[in-house]
Structure 1
């Protein structure tokens, strides 16, 4: 058998792209950065970058998240910190023509975080901002067309973003992932507004309260209350130990 010759194969690179979602002003928003270098210079894109030779994929995704946004990532098993984000692998994208520089395969990751201040730009990103996903995708949660932003996202990031949004919308039906959008202690009303923002619906407050407090392991009372939403003191909860919800929180038809 002839020896392995690396030059016999065309070179290609591996990148990580990040779909970072949060709920701001009752709207599901994604983090986008304005590219400072070619290709697609000055276009908005998802944060991300090339995987270093000594990195595994999850480490590269966590590094890019911190470098370009200032956010810290944690594993699904670890508790959410005040400046933390849930991070999981989303999908792999390898169309030969997705990057004009060379053959680039991207392993996209989905990050979910509580409402955070304006992110800081870094790396090759000149600016970073939170933008409503309906504006970026030109599509509501119910599938209705809206006016997208003036210019589509760079590369195939519009497709990646759409896949990440749908992953988040479907996972909060059967998992406790919606609590990743909340601070460590939250009210049922704040959790309901997360569901409403991610799904793009209006939910009945009493019915929602009955469902989430009656789902075993979903929420744990902290014993405290808050008036930060105005009105009477509301009971505070934290995420319980359940990762799968039984029964699930089914998404209403829109």
Structure 2
């Protein structure tokens, strides 16, 4: 990768002619208003007699790449090597001028048309890069995504159709008809705005413990799967590994099938009736 995402604080695209911020993407909290930073940088660029590429402040640096119609700035923690970050900024600059150069030259004051370019920025600087083995789990009450419009909305919907609580990220990448870097960016957007969480797949050595879950869910599971539901809940004592529980149940007179045990364990975990020890 060559750069550390944890250093990235803020990315802004500013129209050169008028100084308007056309797109702002915060990554971390800043002690100063980002709009003030954008205005300050624009003024410096316009009035400077020599090109300025870096502005150093006490707690952060501002890296700047300037094109024909727009400048891209990155607020970043002080880093020993700027080039990996600048390479990303130059890619953003090239893409925005190719896609929106004409709109920037004939700007009419409406910045909303640039919102879906946010995906291009997040492709270069994802909010996070998760472990490919993690399983994304959808959540109901996330935070509104400010640039969920147009193509970003359509691609997020496409991704959400592949998130079923069972596939891990690597499997989703293998199935979905989107570039890998876009999928990682989209996943990072959903995670940042709290529309998904992650869990890892259970392993035979994991230890599970009982947790409270709704009576209606337990009743439905008992109706569907019978006594094995209670057998498993009793066996998961917070001390025994899944493998040892499975071995006991396989050896029991009623003879559980191993695949059936795994299936039911996952159902109980998905329903919140069992969880990994120590995660209550």
For the criterion TM > 0.5, the same-fold answer is no
- Larger RCO: 1 or 2 (CA < 8 Å, sep 6+): 1
Normalized per residue, which structure has more strand? 1
Normalized per residue, which structure has more helix? 2
- Structure number, greater radius of gyration: 2
Give the TM-score category using the shorter length: under 0.3
TM-score normalised by L of structure 1: 0.25
TM-score normalised by L of structure 2: 0.24
